[in-house]
Structure 1
Amino acid sequence: MPWLKTVWSFSSIEIEGGDSSGLPMTVRIDMERRRMKFKANVILIVSALLLFAQLMPVTYGQRAAKAQEEQAQSPRRDSHVIMISIDGLIPEYYTAPRALGLRVPNMTRMKLNGAYADGVEGVYPTVTYPSHTTMATGVRPEAHGIVQNRVFEPPTEPQTKAWYWFAKSLKAETLWTLARKQGLSTAAVGWPVTAGAEIDYNVPEIWDPAEQPITGKRMAEYATPGLIKSAIGSRDLKGDDFRTAVSEFIIGAYKPNLMLIHLIELDEVHHGFGPRTPQALQTAEKEDAFIGRIVGAAEKAGIKDATTFLIVSDHGFAAIEKKYAPNVRLVEEKLITLDKSGKATSWKAAAWPAGGSCAIVLHDPSDKETAEKVVQIFSKTARKEKGPLNRILVRKELDNLGAIPEAVLMLEAASGYSFDDALTGPEVQDSGAHYKGTHGYLPSRAEMRSSLIVFGQGARTGARLALARMIDIGPTAAGILGLTLEDAEGRPIVELLKDGVAPKPSPSKKGGKKTRPSNTDKSTGEAQP
């Protein structure tokens, strides 16, 4: 009798024994074939499982990332952005309030429970209207068209002191035009360059310079019909109390997806008394209370949990003691001609001051002789020790900064100095008892840095940046609402936002659409020629 002994293992089956008929060999060959087939099938199945295990997280991750990106790029009708600009708010007021004896509980809470930057590098000149327009567009003044606060008025023409109040001056897409185009609701209170803007609920910043004291007549003229009366009724409110009350009403009544608010009293006090003075600190505490009221209005309206608050400012501030009048020098050099009464009758070059900076504009932009002459005149002044000028910036540098295309050059004031547009009188004089602070200097100067706190729905709690860029604020607000400012130079500040709130820039576009070289020496923080 043949006998069989079967030995099993995980990978093989062996049959031992047999007789002279050759049957055991056949069985052995058959079983060996089965063993090989079984082994091949096991290897195939295990390999497939391993490949699936490797690919599944990648595929899922790709799908999740794609879904997040698609969501970030789709209009979010259930989200809200409230951007509150405190004009002239210096970062120190929220980064180190205790050192100043300053009590700002709302900004402190938002900073600690949200995200923030130690400072923001702005645009040139660092003044209100170019800066606010950059925050609303993501591009620099040369691109958006609001290159100064005041419109340039040649010295031979009436000086109306008109500002860039009207939205028709804009050359770039804004947050409000983008949001409305995507079906989101919009509102603005006191935001620069919004007179005549296509905003659903709008109370623009505009006034009549001829009025003394200035009233709200022109603001009411260009506001959304009936809005101010509905918001204020018969109450006699002024300044930022008025702006805050109107904002509270709009939030409660309309719950806009995008709301832009501009509060101005801190800037006024900084100009009059200087930064970090008791008057300035007291006003900063008032502004903090207004922020609290606006957040409270969002909570009362039931939209706080769906709202991202951006606390921003347009520029920093520097203390001054003296002012310099370039036009007086241009009169001496016969580039401006005056009659006996001191009125200008002709001009070849004129100053266009902006606080700590000043553009020099030519009557004939192609007048190379005058262009060379003004460079020589002010270069000589800039070389004076303890003089009124820190330096001059020629056209190539201004192109790099995206600043005032009409300027043949710009003057940068020395520390402690501001510019004046007087045609007569001393070239240099004291700034006066009621003018102790200004801005407008190069954005690379540390004292010109502005502010940024991100709080609420989209904020990455605990995140902090050493230095943000003003050109990134508009794209950040757009991203939170699932929108994209396509022509922006800036990009969303994803470092301060929760994952998936805004699309991350691709490696090739991390600086935005058009990246400009820095004008700052990283070792010193000073602007370089």
Structure 2
Amino acid sequence: MKKKLLLISLDAMIGKDIEILKTLPTFAPILEKASIVKSVETVYPSMTYTAHASIVSGTYPEKHGVITNEVFTPLMNKAPWYELRTQNKAQILPELAQENGYSAFINSWPTLVGANVDYVIQRAGIHYPKEEQESEIRKNSNAVLTQEMWDYCAEAWTLPNYYSTDKFSALASKYVINRYQPDLTLMHMTLPDHYRHSHGVLSEKLVDAYKYLDDMLAIVVDELKAQGLYEQTTFVFCSDHGQVDIDMSVNANKLLIENGLLTVDEEGNMTDWQAYVQSSAVSAHVYLKDPTDQELTDKVYQLLNENRELLYIEHIFTREQVKKTYRLDGNFTFVLEAKEGSSFGFNIMADYQNPIMNEDYRVSRGTHGHIPSKGEQPCLILSGPGVLEGKELSVAKVVDIAPTCAAILGFEMPEADGRVLREILVD
């Protein structure tokens, strides 16, 4: 009988959340037999799409190319997100699993629209309004999404956003497990991230988020039990990033506008640019229209450096520095890291300093995008066949997750940057 593995990303889960999970009826029995890593080093910037690309490929952004959530697109106020499998340049766990004889199911995992696996249910990113979700899901999924399946999951859309998307994911997994019993399933659940954005990193309300997710996990677990698959399934719960609390946002593009490097019309639409700061919340990428122009490069650096206090800048990294230190690379010229308590906003017409606004994740009460060492750290939980019971590692990296999952299933990921966590696996 083939091995089964269920990899679930609980967005923004941190090490301190494990104590909550131990009290919940569906999570608790799984954690009783688990090995745990309470502190997992994420990637830079610590953004959902960047980290999920690293988790599923075992590689750093310099290799897979997903360098933040949104693709830098000059003169567009609403940039597209890194949704497509083709935008992730690295090998990925589910496609390699299929090459090694396993069936795979991708359920709402960021960056994998169009992945070459048997079953793909790819809801739109949570940045899409609820009313646009159905058309995006139908466009992004493959033939496994039949009308019967859609009707089966329809009750999810009676719920508020985030609750609805997580319930859709749970019901979709139940449906696919019932009919196809995939060997490898990837799921992404979003509610902890939403609660932290809205209420703060260590809000007591997180208990409510995990109670809801426990109910969603029960939908999947009950189906595994009904199919006789529960005992042979290895559960891997991972996280993409932690968060930090902020109390203000900064508009760095105002400085560029005032110095003639960015032009906007009366409605705030960009009409021309020489330099632009793209927010990744607590960090930002600085793009130059002509990155080979040394005079422009020097001018922008001088402006930013002279206005560190005004813009609440903690670090100004060059492209070479972030490539060497964080294995991040792209067409940007600089990367900015905000000071504690602040993040970079997206509204180019805003003042220099602005209050937080929960409607935009980049400037909400809790947010991310920061260097990996900051704030509360993500964690990793493994339980089931192939995993030792009761082991605890002090540290690991998000790039270790995919090669470790591959090892549990019995194959390798030769291009991964991460390692197999053999110290918590059965020989």
The whole-number CA distance in structure 2 between the counterparts of 1:292 and 1:207 is: 24
Which residue of the partner structure matches residue 307 of structure 1?
A: 233
Q: Deviations over 1:353-375 (max 9, x none)?
A: 11111010111121222222222
Amino acid at match of 1:117: V
Which residue of the partner structure matches residue 409 of structure 1?
A: 334
Q: Does 1:220 align with 2:138?
A: yes
Amino acid at match of 1:418: S
Question: Does structure 2 retain, via aligned residues, the 8 Å contact 1:130–1:149?
Answer: yes
- Say if 1:278 and 1:208 are closer, same or farther in 2 by CA, change over 3 A: closer
Question: Does structure 2 retain, via aligned residues, the 8 Å contact 1:207–1:217?
Answer: no
Q: Does 1:178 align with 2:96?
A: yes
Which residue of the partner structure matches residue 144 of structure 1?
A: 64
**Which piece of structure 1 moves more, 371-380 or 413-422?**
371-380
The whole-number CA distance in structure 1 between the counterparts of 2:103 and 2:128 is: 35
Which residue of the partner structure matches residue 90 of structure 1?
A: 14
Cα RMSD (Å):
2.2
The whole-number CA distance in structure 1 between the counterparts of 2:203 and 2:126 is: 30
Question: Does structure 1 retain, via aligned residues, the 8 Å contact 2:34–2:383?
Answer: yes
Q: Which of 451, 454, 478 matches 2:406?
A: 478
The whole-number CA distance in structure 2 between the counterparts of 1:160 and 1:343 is: 10
Unaligned regions of 5+ residues in structure 1, if any? 1-76, 500-529
Question: Does structure 1 retain, via aligned residues, the 8 Å contact 2:67–2:328?
Answer: yes
Question: Does structure 1 retain, via aligned residues, the 8 Å contact 2:65–2:330?
Answer: no
Question: Does structure 1 retain, via aligned residues, the 8 Å contact 2:113–2:140?
Answer: yes
Task: Give the TM-score normalised by the residue count of structure 2.
Answer: 0.91
Which residue of the partner structure matches residue 457 of structure 1?
A: 385
Larger Rg: 1
Question: Does structure 1 retain, via aligned residues, the 8 Å contact 2:46–2:372?
Answer: yes
5 Å matches for 1:68-467? 78-94=2-18, 96-97=19-20, 103-154=23-74, 157-206=75-124, 213-227=131-145, 229-233=147-151, 235-237=154-156, 238-382=164-308, 384=309, 388-400=312-324, 401-432=326-357, 435-447=364-376, 449-467=377-395
Question: Does structure 2 retain, via aligned residues, the 8 Å contact 1:326–1:421?
Answer: no
Q: Deviations over 1:41-96 (max 9, x none)?
A: xxxxxxxxxxxxxxxxxxxxxxxxxxxxxxxxxxxx610111011111122110x4
Deviation at 1:307, TM superposition (A): 1.5
Amino acid at match of 2:231: D
- Say if 1:460 and 1:396 are closer, same or farther in 2 by CA, change over 3 A: same
SS at match of 1:305: coil
Deviation at 1:105, TM superposition (A): 4.1
Larger relative contact order, structure 1 or 2 (CA cutoff 8 Å, min sep 6): 2
The whole-number CA distance in structure 2 between the counterparts of 1:475 and 1:354 is: 27
**Which piece of structure 1 moves more, 203-212 or 136-145?**
203-212
SS at match of 1:149: coil
- Say if 1:488 and 1:307 are closer, same or farther in 2 by CA, change over 3 A: same
SS at match of 1:407: coil
Amino acid at match of 1:97: I
Question: Does structure 2 retain, via aligned residues, the 8 Å contact 1:359–1:411?
Answer: yes
Which residue of the partner structure matches residue 47 of structure 1?
A: none
Question: Does structure 2 retain, via aligned residues, the 8 Å contact 1:475–1:484?
Answer: yes
Q: Deviations over 1:362-391 (max 9, x none)?
A: 111212222222222222333x39x62222
Question: Does structure 2 retain, via aligned residues, the 8 Å contact 1:165–1:205?
Answer: no
Question: Does structure 1 retain, via aligned residues, the 8 Å contact 2:246–2:356?
Answer: yes
Deviation at 1:213, TM superposition (A): 4.0
Unaligned regions of 5+ residues in structure 2, if any? 157-163
Amino acid at match of 2:109: W
Amino acid at match of 2:373: S
Deviation at 1:330, TM superposition (A): 1.2
Deviation at 1:141, TM superposition (A): 1.1
Amino acid at match of 1:258: L
Question: Does structure 2 retain, via aligned residues, the 8 Å contact 1:83–1:309?
Answer: yes
SS at match of 1:378: helix
Deviation at 1:160, TM superposition (A): 3.3
SS at match of 1:352: strand
Question: Does structure 1 retain, via aligned residues, the 8 Å contact 2:109–2:188?
Answer: yes
The whole-number CA distance in structure 1 between the counterparts of 2:399 and 2:129 is: 35
Which residue of the partner structure matches residue 159 of structure 2?
A: none
The percent identity for this pair of structures is: 28
Question: Does structure 1 retain, via aligned residues, the 8 Å contact 2:106–2:186?
Answer: yes
Which residue of the partner structure matches residue 161 of structure 2?
A: none
Amino acid at match of 1:437: G
The whole-number CA distance in structure 2 between the counterparts of 1:109 and 1:209 is: 33
Question: Does structure 1 retain, via aligned residues, the 8 Å contact 2:283–2:338?
Answer: yes
Amino acid at match of 1:439: H
Question: Does structure 1 retain, via aligned residues, the 8 Å contact 2:119–2:143?
Answer: no
- Say if 1:342 and 1:233 are closer, same or farther in 2 by CA, change over 3 A: closer
Question: Does structure 2 retain, via aligned residues, the 8 Å contact 1:359–1:404?
Answer: no
The whole-number CA distance in structure 1 between the counterparts of 2:190 and 2:180 is: 24
Which residue of the partner structure matches residue 493 of structure 1?
A: 421
Question: Does structure 1 retain, via aligned residues, the 8 Å contact 2:76–2:270?
Answer: no
The whole-number CA distance in structure 2 between the counterparts of 1:139 and 1:271 is: 27
Which residue of the partner structure matches residue 36 of structure 1?
A: none
Amino acid at match of 1:78: K
The whole-number CA distance in structure 2 between the counterparts of 1:404 and 1:396 is: 8
Aligned residues: 414
Q: Deviations over 1:9-67 (max 9, x none)?
A: xxxxxxxxxxxxxxxxxxxxxxxxxxxxxxxxxxxxxxxxxxxxxxxxxxxxxxxxxxx
Amino acid at match of 1:161: A
Which residue of the partner structure matches residue 160 of structure 2?
A: none
SS at match of 1:450: coil
Amino acid at match of 1:378: L
Q: Deviations over 1:292-311 (max 9, x none)?
A: 33233222221222221100
SS at match of 1:233: helix
- Say if 1:205 and 1:402 are closer, same or farther in 2 by CA, change over 3 A: farther
SS at match of 1:478: helix
SS at match of 1:261: strand
Question: Does structure 2 retain, via aligned residues, the 8 Å contact 1:239–1:265?
Answer: no
